[in-house]
């Protein structure tokens, strides 16, 4: 499984945070995504459908705590999202569907996500991609520095 260090937070100052993310970015990408989550006893499983891009089945495990945490994940490309969704919905059942517009700012090895989630609001995620065998502490330090640069406050951090 691949690993990253991840944080999730409510956007406390959206415009300023997006501006800073764009300043830090080597490149950017805008995405329209729908994530359907399935009942899964030993982690989280979602089907990510992306307009104009490849779709993926994503399995991951991470602690539910606030702040920088290890996320272990596997991405599986899906060639027929509609049939995959129908089959997994029947087999496992779904828990929630999340529809969002995402701006991804690629800053070195970190993906900064600025998400506008339908019905929920605006959020920021950081994903510091770890190299195989790399100590998570280095990624946590990078995440903490980016949190400071982006003005992400502890009170804005979310579990999960």
The tokens describing 96, both together, are 């929630």
How much is the pLDDT for 160? 83
CATH number at residue 9: 2.40.320.10
The tally of domains found in the chain comes to 1
Q: What is the pLDDT along the chain (160 residues), one digit of tens a residue?
A: 999 999 999 999 999 999 999 999 999 999 999 999 999 999 999 999 999 999 999 999 999 899 999 999 999 999 999 999 999 999 999 999 999 999 999 999 999 999 999 999 999 999 999 999 999 999 999 999 999 999 999 999 999 8
Which domain range does residue 65 map to? 2-156
What lies within 8 Å, CB to CB, of 116 at 6+ separation is 100, 101, 102, 122
How far apart CA 131 and CA 110 sit, in angstroms, is 12
CA 5-124-126 angle, 5° bins: 20
- Report yes or no: 67 and 6 within 8 Å, Cβ to Cβ: no
> Mapped to the 3 state alphabet, what secondary structure does 22-82 carry?
HHHCCEEEEEEEEEEEECCCCCEEEEEEECCCCEEEEEEEECCCCCCEEEEEEEEEECCHH
CA 156/CA 59 separation, integer angstroms: 25
Provide the pLDDT for residue 126: 98
The pTM of the full predicted model, rounded to 2 decimals, is: 0.95
| Cβ count near 97 (within 10 Å) | 14
Q: How many CA atoms lie within 13 A of 57 on its CB side?
A: 16
Are 23 and 146 within 8 A, CB to CB? Answer: no
Q: Are the C-beta atoms of residues 124 and 150 closer than 8 Å to each other?
A: yes
């Amino acid at each position: 499984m691949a690993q990253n260090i991840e944080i999730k937070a409510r956007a406390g100052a959206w415009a300023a945070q997006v501006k800073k993310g764009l300043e830090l970015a080597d490149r950017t990408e805008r995405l329209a995504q729908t994530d359907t989550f399935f009942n899964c006893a030993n982690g989280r499983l979602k089907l990510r459908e992306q307009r104009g891009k490849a779709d993926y089945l994503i399995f991951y495990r991470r602690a539910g705590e606030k702040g920088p945490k290890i996320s272990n994940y596997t991405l599986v490309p899906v060639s027929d999202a509609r049939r995959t969704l129908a089959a997994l919905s029947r087999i496992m059942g779904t828990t929630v569907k999340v529809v969002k517009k995402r701006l991804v700012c690629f800053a070195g090895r970190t993906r900064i996500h600025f998400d506008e989630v339908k019905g929920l609001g605006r959020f920021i995620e950081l994903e510091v991609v770890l190299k195989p065998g790399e100590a998570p502490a280095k990624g946590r330090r990078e995440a903490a520095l980016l949190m400071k640069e982006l003005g992400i406050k502890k009170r804005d951090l979310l579990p999960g």
